[in-house]
A and B are shown apart, each in its own frame.
Chain A
């Protein structure tokens, strides 16, 4: 078991024939053979990387049974690609595209309303269930199967934490990069809900940072739920000067400052174990699992 993607996932790639799409699809296919199709309007009927290419997502789903889409489409058309996949009724979308305009994401979020589609991203590193399925660009060499669930807002820091966990023998059930943009699909709460239901996940690591509301929402959710599994959080940006944009998503001043200290305090109140810095995550997880 795992969350969102596993060996039963059948992935199609929107934008597979592009340069980035080709490169990242090839890497992901070599990692796990869960890829079944590519979509490129106008190139239906051809083959790429040994996979059949279709004109549309709906056609690819009907022909191959694909249930997840990897969107590697340039920013100007990324929203249209996501909306096409949502309208075709796909279960999971992973969008790695950076710099999708906010207005376009507004339309994507409107299309998501009332559907069961799970969107990961945009500007996401993707999702990785070690040994089962990878969608996106997450590095796999340092990942190993296990029982730690990870949800993160940051790509490079995830690679760091993931590698240190594996070195310490802490494998991962699933790692989800929720993406660094203000407007995105699944958040920490969505990941927490799924990790809770997953029997293979023993504890959850959240990697957060200044700005946005993800950490606060996770704290509210955990405070209200009898979660039943330990949650460890690293929130970076404690020493970022206030008012200046460092990190990912900025927000409006009147929404509150969303400092790392405030987020840490909220999470701690909700029973979350706080890792002091990036080098402290493994010790925090190990200590928490020993006492649990």
Chain B
């Protein structure tokens, strides 16, 4: 559950992380009016989308005056930002944050994630930060230092101070900020907390100029407030709708609707389709907790998309998701649908014959194949994608 920047920083501030003064605006008028309430000499207007790569896509704009802020807000609100994380349809900007633009003396990088080995909170820090830093850090792995920070005591503080001073991030204030971030990370069940840049401002002190928080959706049961926090311009609406129905859906740009159980089989199907020259319209992973009603909802979302010319149904029934459950869902969706694109089906494993019988009995326009390559070749042929 990735939060927008504004919500991320608002949450961090509750745990003592310093953030620049900011106001959320949904309209040009609100954006301009926000300036009067900010103690600032210049401003920055930031599109609030829950995806990275925003600045490179033009979603962060500076303005010297309130009327300049209005101009930038007009440009951003309602526009669609396409970043490497949004997918090709981009994400529509419905809110902007108006912030005081500060003079930054030094930009660094601070993040927390869970250490895959020990499971403990892991501090990541670098002497540089900013928009292009993440790209560089991927290429040069030695730029980022890491340290497990399990608790907040004198020894841990000394270790963090050592690590920071090695990066020219000096002073007790910076250490305090890192521990405020660690407290937020642990207390709010975050899976990711990224402060980039973690900046020293003119006049002293370190603060989180930009922040990105991902909450652990699995911890929702003890954080009822998560739902409201994440109800944000976030994931693409259709994908979010599927998510509610125990289906992980990622919309892509092709014309073959893909219905698969399990993430691994979904990725494997996607690979085979693209290798064969096909164009998947989506990635789908039916979670093991999905009922046939959930699956019907997921299939309906594909049927509603006019670009979907055919459905590839690839199921390997296992201990938790059996073929007839998936077939029921598909049949149910088709019984209510206005559009009935052909279904190319490959069902194997638990209850496969039963699943196929359901599809035939319920008059789903289905063609059946025994193997994945056979079904993939046929659906590619149908959609004219083979090269």
Contact with A along B250-286 (1 / 0, CB 8 A): 1010000000111111111011111100000001010
Q: How many residues of B contact A (CB 8 A)?
A: 69
Query: How long is the Cα–Cα vector from A55 to B134 in the complex, in angstroms?
Result: 51
Residues B218-245 near A (CB distance < 8 A): 218-219, 221-222
Contact with A along B284-318 (1 / 0, CB 8 A): 01011100000000000000000000000000111
Specify which chain B residues have a CB less than 8 angstroms from the CB of A125 in the assembled complex: 318-319
Q: Name which of A46-54, A198-206, A235-243 contacts chain B.
A: A235-243
Are the CB atoms of B264 and A207 closer together than 8 Å?
A: yes
Check if A10 is an interface residue, CB within 8 A of chain B.
no
Specify which chain B residues have a CB less than 8 angstroms from the CB of A142 in the assembled complex: 349
Check if B137 is an interface residue, CB within 8 A of chain A.
yes
Are the CB atoms of B84 and A242 closer together than 8 Å?
A: yes
Contact with B along A235-259 (1 / 0, CB 8 A): 0111111111111100111111100
Contact of B262 among A75, A156, A213, A253 (CB under 8 A): A156
A109-B119, A138-B319 are contacts. A277–B268 as well, Cβ < 8 Å? yes
Are the CB atoms of A76 and B221 closer together than 8 Å?
A: yes
Nearest CB in chain A: distance from B125 CB, A: 11
Query: How long is the Cα–Cα vector from A103 to B40 in the complex, in angstroms?
Result: 39
Query: How long is the Cα–Cα vector from A24 to B161 in the complex, in angstroms?
Result: 51
Check if A150 is an interface residue, CB within 8 A of chain B.
no
Check if A13 is an interface residue, CB within 8 A of chain B.
no
Check if B320 is an interface residue, CB within 8 A of chain A.
yes
Query: How long is the Cα–Cα vector from A153 to B348 in the complex, in angstroms?
Result: 20
Q: Contact size class for A? A: 35 or more
Which residue from chain A places its CB closest to the CB of B274 in the assembled complex?
A239
Which residue from chain B places its CB closest to the CB of A27 in the assembled complex?
B319
A210-B267, A253-B52 are contacts. A102–B191 as well, Cβ < 8 Å? yes
Q: Name which of A34-42, A62-70, A83-91, A93-101 contacts chain B.
A: A93-101
Specify which chain A residues have a CB less than 8 angstroms from the CB of B320 in the assembled complex: 137, 155
Check if A154 is an interface residue, CB within 8 A of chain B.
yes
Are the CB atoms of A246 and B318 closer together than 8 Å?
A: no
Query: How long is the Cα–Cα vector from A31 to B263 in the complex, in angstroms?
Result: 27
Residues A144-164 near B (CB distance < 8 A): 152-160, 163
Are the CB atoms of B319 and A157 closer together than 8 Å?
A: no
Query: How long is the Cα–Cα vector from A10 to B197 in the complex, in angstroms?
Result: 54
Contact of B318 among A105, A155, A248 (CB under 8 A): A155
Check if A110 is an interface residue, CB within 8 A of chain B.
yes
Specify which chain B residues have a CB less than 8 angstroms from the CB of A106 in the assembled complex: 114, 118-121
Check if B124 is an interface residue, CB within 8 A of chain A.
yes
Are the CB atoms of B252 and A99 closer together than 8 Å?
A: no
Query: How long is the Cα–Cα vector from A212 to B373 in the complex, in angstroms?
Result: 28
Contact of B263 among A234, A246, A254 (CB under 8 A): A246
Nearest CB in chain A: distance from B115 CB, A: 8
Are the CB atoms of B270 and A240 closer together than 8 Å?
A: yes
Contact of B350 among A24, A139, A153 (CB under 8 A): A139
Check if A141 is an interface residue, CB within 8 A of chain B.
yes
Which residue from chain A places its CB closest to the CB of B223 in the assembled complex?
A101
Check if A279 is an interface residue, CB within 8 A of chain B.
yes
Query: How long is the Cα–Cα vector from A163 to B372 in the complex, in angstroms?
Result: 13
Are the CB atoms of B348 and A160 closer together than 8 Å?
A: yes
Specify which chain B residues have a CB less than 8 angstroms from the CB of A244 in the assembled complex: 85, 87, 250
Specify which chain A residues have a CB less than 8 angstroms from the CB of B111 in the assembled complex: 252, 254
Are the CB atoms of A105 and B119 closer together than 8 Å?
A: yes
Check if A182 is an interface residue, CB within 8 A of chain B.
yes
Check if B182 is an interface residue, CB within 8 A of chain A.
no
Check if B217 is an interface residue, CB within 8 A of chain A.
yes
Specify which chain A residues have a CB less than 8 angstroms from the CB of B137 in the assembled complex: 253-254
Specify which chain A residues have a CB less than 8 angstroms from the CB of B274 in the assembled complex: 238-239
A106-B114, A246-B267, A277-B268 are contacts. A254–B124 as well, Cβ < 8 Å? yes
Specify which chain B residues have a CB less than 8 angstroms from the CB of A110 in the assembled complex: 118-120
Check if B72 is an interface residue, CB within 8 A of chain A.
no
Check if B177 is an interface residue, CB within 8 A of chain A.
no
Specify which chain B residues have a CB less than 8 angstroms from the CB of A113 in the assembled complex: 118
Chain A positions within 8 Å of B, measured between CB atoms, are 24, 27, 75-76, 98-103, 105-110, 113, 125, 136-139, 141-142, 152-160, 163, 180, 182-183, 207, 209-210, 212-213, 234, 236-248, 251-257, 260, 276-279
The 8 A-B pairs at the shortest CB distance, nearest first, are namely: A154-B264, A156-B262, A137-B319, A109-B119, A157-B264, A106-B119, A156-B265, A239-B274
With A236-B268, A236-B271, A239-B274 given, can you name 5 additional A-B contacts, CB distance below 8 Å? A103-B216, A156-B263, A158-B264, A252-B111, A277-B271
